[in-house]
Amino acid sequence: MTHRSSSPLSLDRSDPEGAIAAAAERCSNWGRWGADDVLGTLNFLDENKRREGAALVRRGASFSLAQRFDADGPQKGWRRRTNPVHTMLDTGLDAERGAQGFPHGIGGADDVIFMPLQASTQWDGLGHIFDHGLAYNGRRAGDVVTSEGDQVTGIETTAGLIAGRGVLLDLGRAIGENGELPDGFAITTEHLEATISVQGSAAQVGRGDLVLVRTGRLARARREGWGDYAGGASPGLSFTTADWLHGTEIAGIATDTWGFEVRPNEFEHAFQPLHQVVIPHIGLFLGEMWDLEALAADCAADGVYEFWLTAAPLPVTGAVGAPVAPIAVK
C-alpha cells in the first residue's frame, strides 16, 4: 500500500487552515460506515483481528503501559488540567479507634479520586476535537457534546472493543540518538516506514492494528524532571503523516508524549493541527502519555515488536476522553 507523503519543509507554514482543509478532504471517513456510525476507525478492529492479536501471545510476559495516576504526574494546570487528587474516606486509623461504626471488629479503608480524565495515560475520544464546529462524521459539535457530555460518541461506546494486535514502532531506538528523539523532531511517513524496515516484517502496520510510537520523551522526563512535558516542546508525528494514518486503516495510535504530534506545531499560529484532521475527519483514536519503556526494552531484546494489546478506557458515560491502563502481552 502506498501513501501520499511530503516533507514538513514543503508545508506552507503561514496557511494552517488551507493545509487542514486539504488533508481533511483527502482523509475523510465521513459516511464510510453510515451516517449513524460512532466508532470511526475502531470499525477496522474486528473479530478476526482480535484472534490474530491473541495468537501473538507466546511467552505470557505482560507489560503495563500506564503511567501512575498520582499527584506527582506531569500536569501543570493548563486549561484546568491537574494531577489526580487522591483522598482517603476511611483509614486503618479509623478502624483501630473503632470510629467506623461496624460490628464485631470489622474495619476497612475506602478512598476517592478527583482528576481530569486526561490527566495521565488516556485515549482521546471522537468528541474531543472539532473542525470549524463539526465533529466526527459531519455532525454539529453542539449536537454532539453538551454540558451533559458527549451525547453521541461518548467514550463508553468503545467498551469492550479496544483489544487486538499491537505493534510498537520504537523510533527512539531506530532513528534517534541514545534511544531518544529530540524535542521538535517531526516524525514523517518516511521515518515510520524506516523504523518498520529496521524492526522487520512482523512490525508491518495495517488494517485494524493498534500502533504504539515510542519517541523516548517520557524517559527523558523521568530522567530530567517533568519540566514542560505537558504542553511543551516534544517530538511527535508530523502533520504530513495524516495520509499515512488514514491509508494504513489502523484502529488507533498512541505515543509516549503529551500531545501525540510534534511540538512546536509545524505552522505559524496553529494549535494541534494534526488532531484537527485525524479525530473529527478520520475518526482515529489517539492515545497519549503511554509508558512504553519496559515494553520497548523487551522488544529490543527479543526482536519481536508485535503483541496482544488490551486497552479499554474507563467507560465514563459521555466522556470525550478517559484514563486507560493498557496491557501488552507477548
CA distance 98 to 93: 9
CB 215 within 8 A of CB 172: yes
Residue type, 296: A
**Residue 95: per-residue pLDDT:** 93
In three-state secondary structure terms, 194 is helix
pLDDT of 2 over the 50 cut:
no
Q: Is residue 1 part of a domain?
A: no
13 burial type by CB count under 10 A (0-12 exposed, 13-18 middle, 19+ buried): middle
Domain of residue 237 covers 9-77+116-329
Could you tell me if 262 and 323 lie in one domain?
yes
**Residue 15: per-residue pLDDT:** 94
Could you tell me if 70 and 45 lie in one domain?
yes
Could you tell me if 97 and 217 lie in one domain?
no
* E-state strands within the chain: 62-64, 85-90, 110-114, 122-124, 145-146, 149-150, 163-170, 186-187, 210-214, 236-237, 252-255, 285-288, 306-310, 321-323, 327-329
313 burial type by CB count under 10 A (0-12 exposed, 13-18 middle, 19+ buried): buried
pLDDT of 1 over the 60 cut:
no
CB 253 within 8 A of CB 279: no
Q: For the chain, give the mean pLDDT.
A: 96
Q: Is residue 315 part of a domain?
A: yes
Could you tell me if 110 and 229 lie in one domain?
no
Q: Is residue 52 part of a domain?
A: yes
**Residue 61: per-residue pLDDT:** 98
Q: Is residue 274 part of a domain?
A: yes
Could you tell me if 302 and 234 lie in one domain?
yes
Q: Is residue 4 part of a domain?
A: no
pLDDT 10s digits, 128-158? 999 999 999 999 999 999 999 999 999 999 9
CB 254 within 8 A of CB 288: yes
Could you tell me if 20 and 137 lie in one domain?
yes
CA distance 195 to 173: 9
Of 1-15, 109-123, 304-318, the one with minimum mean pLDDT is 1-15
Domain count, the chain: 2
CB 251 within 8 A of CB 161: no
**Residue 191: per-residue pLDDT:** 98
Bridge-partner residues for 168, per DSSP?
212
What is the CATH classification number for the domain harbouring 169? 3.50.30.50
**Residue 89: per-residue pLDDT:** 95
Could you tell me if 126 and 94 lie in one domain?
no
**Residue 3: per-residue pLDDT:** 52
For 23, residues 6+ apart whose C-beta sits below 8 A from its C-beta are: 239, 242, 243, 277, 281
Could you tell me if 91 and 73 lie in one domain?
no
Q: Is residue 160 part of a domain?
A: yes
Q: Is residue 97 part of a domain?
A: yes
pLDDT 10s digits, 161-193? 999 999 999 999 999 999 999 999 999 999 999
Q: What percent of the chain has pLDDT over 90?
A: 95
Could you tell me if 132 and 108 lie in one domain?
no
pLDDT 10s digits, 25-37? 999 999 999 999 9
CA distance 5 to 171: 18
Cell numbers found for residue 252 = 488507533
Rg (CA), the chain: 21
Residue type, 96: E
Could you tell me if 71 and 125 lie in one domain?
yes
Q: Is residue 206 part of a domain?
A: yes
pLDDT 10s digits, 61-112? 999 999 999 999 999 988 899 999 999 999 999 999 999 999 999 999 999 9
CB 230 within 8 A of CB 119: no
Could you tell me if 26 and 51 lie in one domain?
yes
Could you tell me if 107 and 19 lie in one domain?
no
**Residue 150: per-residue pLDDT:** 98
pLDDT 10s digits, 220-260? 999 999 999 999 999 999 999 999 999 999 999 999 999 99
Closest by CA to 167, choosing from 259, 299, 58, is 299
Q: Tell how strand 163-170 and strand 149-150 pair up.
A: unpaired
